[in-house]
Amino acid sequence: TSRKEITEHWEWLEHNLLQTLSIFENENDITTFVKGKVQGIIAEFNKNHDVKEDDDTDKFKEASSKFWKLFGMPEEEKLVNYYSCSYWKGKVPRQGWLYLSINHLCFYSYLLGKEGAYYLFLNPTHNVSQVLDAFYAYLKAL
């Protein structure tokens, strides 16, 4: 993207969007309107240019749905990422999925009819190594 393109897009936003924003009463209404407008523009562009949604997007939606269901999380608890991983329990590794959300670190496995679902609340004052150490200690204690 060139500086010229960015300037053109910014000018379009100023011309077509900023005047409309003055009718809203609060920032939340403005944010909702702008997000909806941008999503609509992207959807229209994708439709006109025959752009398909990425398979990763569908996989992420599926993972989010599993995360909410497996751990009883509300849909407001946004999934940040998920990873295939395992941890050792006795002599057998537990293969499963590690889910990282805004407020939780969760692990789910299903092996030989045995289900395991564990989660840890993330405290924003802890750094990543503290969280991982605590989660490892938690799993080891099970």
Each residue of 59-83: pLDDT tens digit?
888 999 999 999 999 988 888 889 9
For residues 79 and 119, is the Cβ–Cβ distance under 8 A? no
Cβ-Cβ contacts under 8 Å for 81 (sequence gap 6 or more) = 100
Question: Whole-model pTM?
Answer: 0.53
HSE of 124, CA atoms in CB hemisphere, 13 A: 2
Out of 22-26, 67-71, 73-77, 132-136, least confident range:
132-136
